[in-house]
Amino acid sequence: MSGSEANSATILATADEARPPDAAQPAGAPATLCAAANLTEAGLYGRRWLVAEDGRLRVYGAGGRWPENLPRGPAAGAGPPWDGSHLLLAVPPAAAERTGPVFDLALSEVRGARVEPLVGAATLLLETPAGPVPCIRFTPELSADFGLAARMIGALARGEPPRIDPRDLPQHCPRCGRRLQPGTRICPPCIDRGAVLRRLLGYAGPYRWKLAAVTALMLTGVALSLVPAQINRALVDDVLEPRRNLHLLGLLVLAMLGTQIAGRGLSVVQGYIGNSFGSRIVGDIRASLWGSLQRLSLGYFDKAQIGNLMSRVSQDTSRMQTFLTGSAQQFLVQAMQLLGVLAVMLAMNWRLTLVVLIPAPFTVVVSRAIWPRIRRLDRRLWHTVSRLNTVVNDALGGIRVVKAFGQEGREVARFGGVNGELVARNITVANMMSLFGPSFTFVAGFGTLLVWYFGGILVVHRHMDLGTLLAFATYLGMVLQPLTFGSRLITDLTTSITSAERVFEVMDTEPDVGEAAAPVAMPRIEGRVSFAGVEFGYVSHLPVLRDIDLDVAAGEMIGLVGHSGAGKSTMINLICRLYDAGVGTITIDGVDIRRIRQDDLRRQIGVVLQETFLFDGSIAENIAYARPDADPFEIMEAARIANAHDFILGKPEGYDTRVGERGMRLSGGERQRIAIARAILHDPRILILDEATASVDSETERQIQEAVGRLVRGRTTFAIAHRLSTLRSAHRLAVFDHGRIVEIGTHDALMDRRGVYYRLVKAQQDAHAAREVVVG
Amino acid sequence: MTVAMDGPPGVGATAQPAPAAVGLRRLEPGSLQLRRGPRGEVRLLLPDRCHLAVTLTRAFPLSRPGGWIAIRERDGAEVGLLPDGACLDPESRTCAEEELRLRYFTPTVTAILDIRDEVPGGRGGGAIWELETDRGPATLHMPNTNEHVQTLPDGRILLTDRAGNRYEIAGLGDLDPASRRRLAQFVWL
């Protein structure tokens, strides 16, 4: 497996924890398990330590300090692999620090343990012959830790090695040793901002000539922007004040025109180049992010939430774009302009320069104080707008329901409520802006008043020319501009670095379900599938499947039966290797599924899902999705076997009929038969059927069943059906209950047993009968 | 917040019995007793039998914290629904209050010491709150103030954080002016 397995196990002993291991251990054997909790028995915040030692399980209150960062767990690459003999998630408190124990139970009385989630808290429950016993309490962020502790307790109680996937052990920042949030490898305090920026700028590599051109244009632009004030000065000092040199007037005005044209022209060209280059860089980043997302395994998408990922693809990249095309360029221009203007001003009159810069720090302070407030208000306003949108969306999407229940009046009132709120908040925000804008301009403009006063004195005493004073005033305006925007630009920089980090994090994530180091090529799978002691949970401390042992012969059809949520779909996900089981092994033809070359595996497993997903395209393209090189005859043959050929030819555009987004233009039965045709063309050795018949009329159902019957022949098949009657053709049925296989056998054998399966069948027959009564 | 059973029970519901035969069982407060077992588990004593370890779940935790409490076996099988916890005998009532207080871990905020942006400059909307609560000091990380601050019709404010912790502000009037001011910067009140 991946490098994370090469973990060190001696979890203790970081330099900063600075507690010698022998001091942490009281007399007797060292603790085999220690975890820290943060709630007391009375439900207050407080420290509690769960320790397994001397064959007993104890909870101590301790006077010791709460480990600021829970001690270093297996950090990547250091030490020998975890041997499972110890699980120290916290530093066991030294004997002198211990108070209690407040809980004490012999391990021999414990059969197992599990985390029971409460509301806003959770409990570790110990299974004892006398029933479950609550042992220690904690807030939800510690659930994962105690999930591991529960497994360790189970292992200690049974005297077996713990069934813990090393990847579930807490990960620590290799640099500072802080514990990382599950599912991320980023340690926020340790981010090297410079490195992120360098990587971001690395994407500019291919466009370096454009970058150079933009920089050159910027410099020229800044130089040009300094010229008009000098022309003004000459105009006043040499023409207007002496009231002569009329020949110069025309020249100076022409020069002004020239600089205007050149300056504006330059900024247009600079904008063009800058825009194309910023957008392309972000385009490159977005494409590479999308590539990374497609490569990642399904487990990542469960943990990451789709909405979050969508915002990374769209929002974060667009923030980076705003930065690269807007803020970054603006920032450079402003910074260069600031330097240029200051240089010219100092050259003209350094004393006056120092005087007029007095208000500058204030502007910076004021803008730093005001911007976050305005931004916060703005964000809250945005949320109110989005709530209004939700109301509209809701009511329009559910318009049939609204009409059917005659609730139009209520919807109008609901909209009115949110609308009124929005109006009030809009006014608040607008008022704030109206107040802040002018106050800000006032502070920023204060320097100009100083120029007029002190400069005026200088001019009256003839220490300075009038033109110089005017030029000074103009330059001053140019200094204040970058200062006022400066702090906002810095925030922009911070946020785009954050966005860049989030994007790079996705790019850097290794897929959990990776290709083995030396994958086994299996050009033709026979189809023997076996599960041995498999345990799996989407979140490690809440197992969905437990103790799964199942051997399936090649070509056998196994029906998976059970209530929804019993673990049937999870079984399917494991067979397809959308996830890897943390504990136990799954083999195909005797080879561990994790070692089989992924291409070979994917090519020989076919899936017909409950929700058949068709892509927008023609029927032919959808049938050939897994084998784009299939020739038209093969496609039609597959459709024929799937009983789809006739209805497809009945359509005016035949196999070229577009199915519409998600196949919306086809009926449910048509979509299913196309999905079956797709699986037939794919010709898998192992087939997964997830409730292949749903709500269709009986003739269509007969056709689908017939198609499924042909599809199944000669392949190992796992079939989930909620209607048990559709599983008649299965060789054996595996009955799932609360994540375990509780019964296995043929339909008849299971009916004779009068167990879980029997009750399921009876319940379904009753429901069916009830429906017939209602309908008939 | 008073975790106790002070919420109004379903007054209207008492008048009309639930439709028969859907399997909901109504427990009469007079006919049952709740007691602590030796290991801290809750025992339910009914006239005809005894359940050794039950859990209590509020059906309407926000609108009726004291009414309609579901009593279930550990495995989720429902024993019945208690319309009003206040009518239990004193010992049972204490036991139920304790159990609910443990199950619904919702510290009440007594002061807001600080609210600051998670990212300097406030982009992204994340905020870190430093709170003083009736169960001790707490720090919560809130991804955004929009979905994680919920104002209830009776004026209580419910805060939730990234990890799933829950905190409650009983009413604005209970907070000191400084806390109120800090709150107002981040939340429309």
In a domain, A517, yes or no: no
User: Which of A155, A182, A209 lies at the terminal end of a domain, its last residue?
Assistant: A182
Please indicate, yes or no, whether residues A718 and A582 belong to a single structural domain of this protein: yes
Q: What's at A747, amino acid-wise? A: H
Within a domain: A533: yes
Across the interface, do A45 and B137 touch by the CB < 8 Å criterion?
yes
Residue B2, pLDDT above cutoff 80: no
Same domain for A106 and A9, yes or no, is: yes
Residues A341 and A414 in one domain: no
pLDDT of residue B140: 86
A38 CB contacts (<8 Å, ≥6 apart)? A45, A46, A47, A48, A66, A138, A139, A142
Cis peptide before A101 (omega within 30 of 0): yes
Closest CA to A78 of A191, A175, A183: A175
Check pLDDT > 80 for residue B134: yes
Specify the range with the lowest mean pLDDT, choosing from A176-185, A315-324, A408-417: A176-185
Instruction: Taking residues A134-162, report their average pLDDT.
Output: 86
Tell me if the pTM is above 0.80. no
Q: How far apart are CA B33 and CA B31, in angstroms?
A: 7
Asked if B125 lies within 8 A of A379 by C-beta distance, the reply is: yes
Range from A58-72, A460-474, A687-701, B17-31 that averages highest in pLDDT? A460-474
Set of chain A residues whose Cβ sits within 8 Å of the Cβ of B23:
none
Is A219 within a domain?
A: yes
Q: Say how many domains are in chain A.
A: 4
> Mean of the pLDDT values across residues A591-606?
85
* Residue of chain B nearest A493, judged by CA positions: B121
Helix (H, G, I), strand (E, B) or coil at A393: helix
- Angle at Cα A177 formed by Cα A174 and Cα A181, nearest 5°? 85
Contact B164 A140 (CB under 8 A): yes
**Torsion angle of C-alpha atoms A331, A336, A340, A341, degrees rounded to 10:** 0
> Phi/psi at A398 (nearest 5 deg)?
-105, 30
CB contact under 8 A, B102 and A118: yes
Indicate if A252 and A119 belong to the same structural domain. no
| Residue A356 falls inside a structural domain | no
Q: A302: burial class by Cβ within 10 Å (0-12, 13-18, 19+)?
A: middle
Rounded CA separation B183/B189 (Å): 8
> Residue A537 gets which letter from DSSP?
-
Domain co-membership, A627 together with A688 = yes
CA distances from B177 to A370, A405, B172 (A): 22, 46, 9
DSSP state of A240: I
pLDDT of B189: 60
Residue A503 has pLDDT above 70, yes or no: yes
Q: Helix A632-641 and helix A698-712: axis angle, to 10°?
A: 120
The answer on pLDDT for A95 being more than 70 is yes
**Average model confidence (pLDDT) for chain A?**
78
Residue in chain A lying closest to B141 (CA): A141
- pLDDT of the residue at A341: 85
Chain A residues in contact with B120 by the CB 8 A cut-off are: 491, 494
Same domain (yes/no): A345, A445: no
**Which residues, listed in sequence order, are joined to residue A103 by a DSSP beta bridge?**
A59
Is A355 inside a domain boundary? no
* Cβ <8 Å between B122 and A379: yes
Asked if B105 lies within 8 A of A119 by C-beta distance, the reply is: yes
- Which residues on adjacent β-strands are paired with residue A719? A559, A689
Per the CB < 8 A criterion, the answer to whether A67 and A99 are in contact is: no
Confidence tier at A71 by pLDDT (50, 70, 90): very low
pLDDT band for position A124 (50/70/90)? very high
Question: Shortest Cα distance from A139 to chain B (angstroms)?
Answer: 7
Does residue A668 surpass a pLDDT of 50? yes
Name every chain A residue with its beta carbon within 8 A of the beta carbon of B186: 376
Question: Averaged over A443-459, what is the pLDDT?
Answer: 81
Distance separating alpha carbons of residues A301 and A288, to the nearest angstrom: 17
> Residue A52: is its pLDDT beyond 80?
yes
- Say yes or no: A325 and A378 in one domain: no
Check whether A85 has a pLDDT greater than 70. yes
Interface of B with A (CB under 8 A): 39-41, 52-53, 61, 74, 101-107, 117, 119-125, 133, 135-138, 144-146, 163-166, 185-188
Please say if the pLDDT value at position A425 is more than 70: yes
Confidence of residue B16 (pLDDT cuts 50, 70, 90): very low
Shortest CA distance from B102: residue in chain A: A43
Q: Which one is predicted more confidently, A328 or A593?
A: A593
Chain A, chain B: beta-carbon pairs less than 8 Å apart? 97
Domain boundary among A508, A538, A572: A508
Ranges A71-75, A269-273, A587-591, most confident: A587-591
Beta bridge partners of A62: A98
Please indicate, yes or no, whether residues A337 and A429 belong to a single structural domain of this protein: no
Least confident of A162-166, A531-535, A655-659: A162-166
| Contact between B136 and A45 using a beta-carbon 8 Å cutoff | yes
Range of the domain at A741: 529-775
Q: Tell me the mean pLDDT in the region B99-103.
A: 86
**Partners of residue B105 in chain A, C-beta under 8 Å:** 39, 43, 118-121, 139
Between CA A471 and CA A349 the distance in angstroms is 11
Whether residue A518 is contained in a domain is answered as no
The overall average pLDDT reported for chain B is 78
For the segment A712-717, the average pLDDT, to the nearest whole number, is: 87
Examine the domain organization and report whether A315 and A197 are in the same domain.
yes
Q: Do A132 and B53 touch (CB under 8 A)?
A: yes
* Final residue before a domain boundary, out of A182, A210, A225: A182
% of chain A surpassing 70 pLDDT:
80
A344 and A197 in a single domain? The answer is yes
Over 70: is that where the pLDDT of A182 sits?
no
Do A457 and A469 share a domain, yes or no? no
Q: Label residue A178 by pLDDT band (50, 70, 90).
A: low
Beta bridge partners of residue A127, listed in sequence order? A112, A132
What pLDDT does A21 receive?
37
A385 found inside a domain: yes
Q: What is the enclosing helix (H) or strand (E) of B137? A: strand B136-142
**Residue A408 forms part of a structural domain:** yes
Span A368-383, pLDDT tens digits:
777 677 777 776 777 7
Tell me which of A115, A133, A145, A489 to substitute to probe the interface with B (most B C-beta atoms closer than 10 Å): A133
CA distances from B72 to B44, B52, B53, B58, B78 (A): 10, 11, 9, 11, 4
Q: Do residue A635 and residue A740 come from a single domain? A: yes
Question: At residue A439, what are phi and psi to the nearest 5 degrees?
Answer: -60, -40
pLDDT exceeds 80 at position A453: yes
Q: How far is the CA of A772 from the CAs of A696, A700, A723, A767, A775, in angstroms?
A: 17, 20, 15, 9, 5
- The pLDDT value recorded for residue A692 is 54
